[in-house]
Structure 1
Amino acid sequence: MAMGTRRSRQKQEELFYASERAEAPGHPFYQRLNGVLDEAGFDAFCEQCCRPFYHQKLGRPSLAPGVYFRLLLIGFFEGINSERGIAWRVADSLSLRQFLNYGLNEATPDHVTISRTRRLLDEATHQAVFRFVLTEVARRGLLKGKTIGIDATTLEANAAMRSIVRRDTSESYMQYLRRLAAEAGIDASDDEAVRRMDRKRKKKTSNEQWVNPHDPEAEVTKMKDGTTHLAYKAEQAVDLETGAIVAITTHGGAAGDSESVQETLPAAGEAVAEQIATPTAQGKHKVHEQGLREVVTDKGYHGGAGLAAMSEMGVRTYVAVPQQPRRNWEGKREQQAAVYANRRRVKGARGKSLLRRRGELLERPFAHQYETGALRRLHVRGRGNVAKRVLLQAAAFNLALILRTLTRAGTPRGLADLKRTLFCALWRVLAALSAKSAPCSGLDESSPLRAHFSERLRPHPPRLRPRQKTGF
């Protein structure tokens, strides 16, 4: 299959007056976003990265890489978690058609085309697109890189607990219970008796014994709300001075924080070193003196081995200290030094300030990506596919950070609400000036017409999205 390009999709639109075209509130936001992407050369970069996956001549032109990555960005900006939902939303929206450069008489990509393109492009290509957006963030001065906060969250996998099987015998959970009931002398054909036995016995669903055949990489995890699901874990590093996401990694849901941070922290250090490097006259790169120096995390990352490993990487740790009994440090002098040094730093004024900043700038990206961005429940399977969606979700968050500096709004709905708020504020100022200059005018406080306009222009509270159900 040949690769489709943005240049090949350019065409002459039908002639009509601009006033005849309907415009939605999202038009200005997506026009500004396209301006940012075009200025950075986004489409040319995507086509260059994706060219090895396509044939040069044979086959019908594919979905343009720039269009595919824009489709995944739409999932963040519109709060849509599935590729099917993205395809439906694009087909119905004029602003999204213009954002993707699709005419009114053209068929937009369906969810099958989106999913096939996602499976065709590897994780390294999605990582390259994320780094490209991060480079644009750094170019605009929104990346400092000195103080990094690391935290993780769980994402519910597209796999059900009722479908798990034993790793050794491939038995389903109900077949396993019937075998236990038969061994205990209980009638295995009586489902009610088998369930009563299951409620009374002590049990633990271990990932070493159980697996979902449809998504083997998903792991049984206890979620934050107390329920147990098959899940993945997304861990990201955030610049605590600007809020930009520097690096993000994906793991199984049951992976420990002290284990996953060994992958996330080096990735963040490499990303910071790459973005703040400046080319010299000889073509080489000289790393700036101000690089990654401080790491801030919560108490889940506190551990002797983990703190010692982070200290060896040359960073100062500010890890919240949990309540622990007195420990025996025999043979663990390096861990003892790392733990005590971290404890001294956390109790200082800067440590307390960084931990407060962590709650503000480290938790906010999770809310934007997975709650407002609606990716808490995954609709893809396999760690590689999950990593692709998570990387583009983080790239969309960084683009929203850029747009927030330009338009003071990071989403189309936020821009529409901002315009309405500014209009209401301007109307209040004009009304106050008119009332002060002409107190006896026809629109006094008791005028029905004034009361009518006041009610129409009163700013409404922001609409809250209903909380999505994540249980079975």
Structure 2
Amino acid sequence: MQGKKLFLDKEVVRFRLSERVPPHNLYRRLAGVVDWSFLYAETQALYSHTGQPSLDPVVFFKLVLVGRLENLVSDRRLVEHCALRLDILYFLGYEVDEELPWHSTVSRTRQRLPAVVFERLFDHVFAQCVARGLVAGDTQAVDSAPVKANASLEAVREKQAAGPAGPHLSGREETPAVGSVVTAPAHQLRQLATGQRRRQGAQTGALGARHEQARLLSNKTHYSPTDPDARISVKPGKVRALNFLCSLAVDTAHGVISHVQADLADGRDSLHLPQLLTGLQQRLRANELPLRELLADAGYANGSNYALLEAAQITAWIPVFGQYKAEIDGFTYDAPRDVYHCRAGKVLSFRKYDARADGTWQKIYWATCSDCQQCPLKSTCVPGAKRKQLTRTIYDAAYRRAWQRQQTRRGQRLRRVRQGTVEPVFGHLLPHYGLRRLNVRGLAGAHKTMLLTAVAYNLKKLLKYRPQRQLSLAVALPRPLLAVNTRACRRNRRTETPTWAIVTRIRRSTFT
């Protein structure tokens, strides 16, 4: 007989939420792996002793972590999704008939809580990863990736010209408020406009019709009134967009994120390494872990970074930037004397330091005029000058040591280790942990979101980790004496295996 299910939608009298969530559920296990009570002490000073009760800080952090784990960017969709899941309600501590907080309450709480509380949560989870043996600490891989800001590129505005003493936005000055007018020096805007017109040119068609010129956008001439901290950036193969930069440090032992920070996306990666190194060393030092080696790509190659890492006694496995040349054709460097020798055997001595236009310093070497004037190779070496001059960076020695490490077999192996450690982490965070686009504004909000994403990633690492120990034992029985009955031995060989050939090997895998 054909069956037919009827839905009565009746009211259930006996119902317990904990009985409906199995023990192997992700959120049930997550509720017990972390002691969330420390958040009350961290946030107690932020609330008044009078007034209406606020949203429970533990509930707030659990709620936003669910958004990272479920790959939800919108707070409104997050609350709607949590109301339909029994396991998430159990994780949050809410009953089935209990109303969840409004999405606007979640947004306002995120804005009001300082980034220090989010960092405390990250440190707490990282310390648990260290206690379980997931972090070695001695070798860290560093990389960065752009994250889309909560602003549209179509809404950017041109900066207004400011007078000689007028305010303008440059360098590390304080970012203006949302909706305010950003200014820049008038002479700088004029130079940029002239250069853009020169590059753009006057394009005319076959019939003399003028084509519509492209809109050239730059951080020096344009800004976003919605999010002034967002920066226009572009990577090869990707469109130009308003982004923030997510910088990560990942431990090479099991891929646990050891540091995360949000940076402005209009600078090179090498500019953010000192701040990243400071935060990373503090966290590792707090967990009694030494940092010995740092792996990064060529975007972090910088003379000051090499010198900084050497001063901290950290081996930098960072490939030298492509424009640097360790050797100069036709010249030999004498490191103890700090001089160069040319093909004719003449000496180019160090003469002075000089500052470049970008503020970096360089060393100047040159030979004497008498040596070059009488040299038979002058027509091919310096045909239009009085003497030969060489320019090197003041960090040339650090560059040279990094270049030599790069050529070794260990350097090639660690390059593959870096690619297999930090790049897969970004491959998970961006599409699967709600980091494809930010739902907050400002550099502080981006930093909080990236911290929560890293916490969610480390929590999954903590839940999946199962340390495996293998025990091998070989047991061999003694060989029998030679003075035995030959007939007995022959009968023993026909019936059973000789005693001296019995070897038992036991393997046991223990999971904790």
Fold agreement, TM-score > 0.5: yes
1:340 maps onto 2:355 in alignment: no
- CA pair 357-112 structure 1, distance change in 2 beyond 3 A: same
Matched, 1:89 2:94: no
1-structure distance, mates of 2:209, 2:266: 29
Task: State the secondary structure of the residue aligned to 2:25.
Answer: helix
Match for residue 106 of structure 2? Answer: 114
In structure 2, how many angstroms separate the alpha carbons of the residues matched to 1:264 and 1:91? 38
Shift, 1:88, TM fit: 1.6
Cα distance in 2 for partners of 1:115, 1:28 equals 28
Q: Distance in 2 between matches of 1:325 and 1:129?
A: 42
User: 1:154: how far off?
Assistant: 0.3
Partner-residue secondary structure (3-state), 1:158: coil
21 and 353 in structure 1: CA distance in 2 versus 1, 3 angstrom threshold? same
Cα distance, 1:403 vs structure 2: 0.5
1:330 maps onto 2:363 in alignment: yes
CA shift in 2, pair 1:50/1:20, >3 Å: closer
1:273 maps to what in 2? Answer: 285
**Equivalent of 2:129 in 132, 137, 150:** 137
Q: Which moved more, 1:305-314 or 1:245-254?
A: 305-314
Q: Distance in 2 between matches of 1:213 and 1:194?
A: 35
For residues 292 and 88 of structure 2, what CA distance do their matches in structure 1 show? 41
Q: Counterparts of 1:16-35 in structure 2 under 5 Å?
A: 16=14, 22-23=20-21, 28-35=25-32
2:33 corresponds to: 36
Distance between the aligned counterparts of 1:121 and 1:356, measured in 2? 40
2:441 is the counterpart of 1:381: yes
Normalising by structure 2, we get a TM-score of: 0.65
Name the CA distance, whole Å, in 2 between partners of 1:166 and 1:72: 36
Which residue in 2 is equivalent to 1:402? Answer: 462
Answer with 1 or 2: which has the greater Rg: 2
For residue 161 of structure 1, what is the aligned residue in structure 2? 153
- 1:293-339 CA-partner distances (Å, limit 9, x unpaired): 11100111122233223222321100124433537863666511211
**2:479 alignment counterpart:** none
Distance 1:316 1:346 in 2: 12
Q: 2:62 aligns with which of 55, 65, 70?
A: 70
Does structure 1 retain, via aligned residues, the 8 Å contact 2:363–2:394?
no
Q: Judging changes above 3 Å, is the alpha-carbon distance between structure 1 residues 362 and 195 closer, same or farther for their aligned structure 2 residues?
A: farther
Please state whether the residue corresponding to 2:228 is helix, strand or coil.
coil
Distance 1:251 1:275 in 2: 25
Once the two structures are TM-superposed, the CA of residue 204 in structure 1 deviates from its matched residue by 3.9
**8 Å Cα contact 2:434/2:453 also seen in 1:** no
C-alpha distance in 2, partners of 1:311/1:146? 15
2:375 counterpart residue number = none
Superposed CA deviations along residues 349-388 of structure 1, whole A, max 9, x for unmatched, are: 3222221111111112212221111311111111111111
Q: 1:194 to 1:158 in 2, by over 3 A?
A: farther
For 1:116 and 1:194, locate their aligned partners in 2 and report how far apart those are by CA, in whole Å. 53
| Residues 393 and 407 (structure 1), Cα distance of their counterparts in 2 relative to 1, 3 Å cut | farther
Confirm or deny: 8 A CA contact 1:233 1:255 kept in the other structure: no
How many Å separate the matches in 2 of 1:330 and 1:52? Answer: 54
| Matches of 1:195 and 1:384, distance apart in 2 | 45
Higher relative strand content:
2
> Any unmatched runs of 5+ in structure 1?
1-13, 184-192, 277-289, 409-472
Structure 1's 81 and 340: CA in aligned 2 closer, same or farther, altered over 3 A? same
> What is the Cα deviation at residue 18 of structure 1?
5.8
Q: What's 1:448 paired with?
A: none
**Distance verdict in 2 for CA 1:406–1:109, change over 3 Å:** farther
Q: Deviations over 1:263-310 (max 9, x none)?
A: 11111111110112xxxxxxxxxxxxx611111001111222332232
* 2:302 counterpart letter in structure 1: G
What is the distance in 2 between the residues matched to 1:194 and 1:90?
A: 58
> Where does structure 2 lack aligned partners over 5 or more consecutive residues?
1-11, 162-180, 183-188, 198-207, 329-361, 365-391, 469-512
Tell me if the contact between 1:164 and 1:211 (Cα under 8 Å) persists in the aligned partners.
Answer: yes
**1:215 Cα offset (Å):** 0.2
- Counting only pairs closer than 5 Å after superposition, residues 20-419 of structure 1 correspond to structure 2 as 22-23=20-21, 28-37=25-34, 41-42=35-36, 44-56=37-49, 58-168=50-160, 196-199=211-214, 204-223=216-235, 225-276=237-288, 291-324=290-323, 326=325, 330=363, 335-406=395-466
**Secondary structure, in 3 states, of the residue corresponding to 2:317?**
strand
Say whether the 8 Å CA contact 2:23–2:29 is kept in structure 1. Answer: no
1:293–1:314 CA contact under 8 A, matched in 2: yes
Q: Secondary structure at the match of 1:198?
A: coil
Tell me which moved more, 368-377 or 211-220.
Answer: 368-377
Structure-2 separation of matches of 1:196 and 1:309: 51
CA separation of 1:215/1:18 partners in 2, compared to 1, >3 Å: closer, same or farther?
A: closer
Cα distance in structure 2, aligned partners of 1:194 and 1:313: 63
More helix per residue: 1
Give deviations 1:194-222, integer Å, cap 9, x for gaps. 994423xxx64221221111100000011
CA RMSD of aligned residues (A): 3.0
CA distance in 2, matches of 1:194, 1:339: 53
Q: Which amino acid aligns with 2:363?
A: E
1:148 alignment partner, SS class = strand
The share of aligned pairs that are identical, in percent, is 28
Q: Secondary structure at the match of 1:126?
A: helix
Output the amino acid matched with 1:54: Y
17 and 107 in structure 1: CA distance in 2 versus 1, 3 angstrom threshold: closer
Shift of 1:168: 1.0
Q: Give a deviation string over 1:79-129, Cα, whole Å, max 9, x none.
A: 112222211211111111011010011001221111011011011111111
Distance in 2 between residues matched to 1:308 and 1:20, nearest whole Å: 57
Cα distance in 1 between the residues matched to 2:405 and 2:217: 39
Q: Aligned pairs, how many?
A: 357
Q: Deviations over 1:181-200 (max 9, x none)?
A: xx9xxxxxxxxx9994423x
Displacement, 1:346?
2.1
User: 1:76, 1:369 within 8 Å by CA — same for their partners in 2?
Assistant: no
Name the aligned partner's letter for residue 210 of structure 1. H
CA distance in 2, matches of 1:305, 1:316: 14
Contact 2:142 2:249 in 1 (8 A): yes
Name the CA distance, whole Å, in 1 between partners of 2:264 and 2:18. Answer: 52
- DSSP-derived class of the 2:410 partner: helix
Cα separation, partners in 2 of 1:26 and 1:375, compared to 1, 3 Å: farther
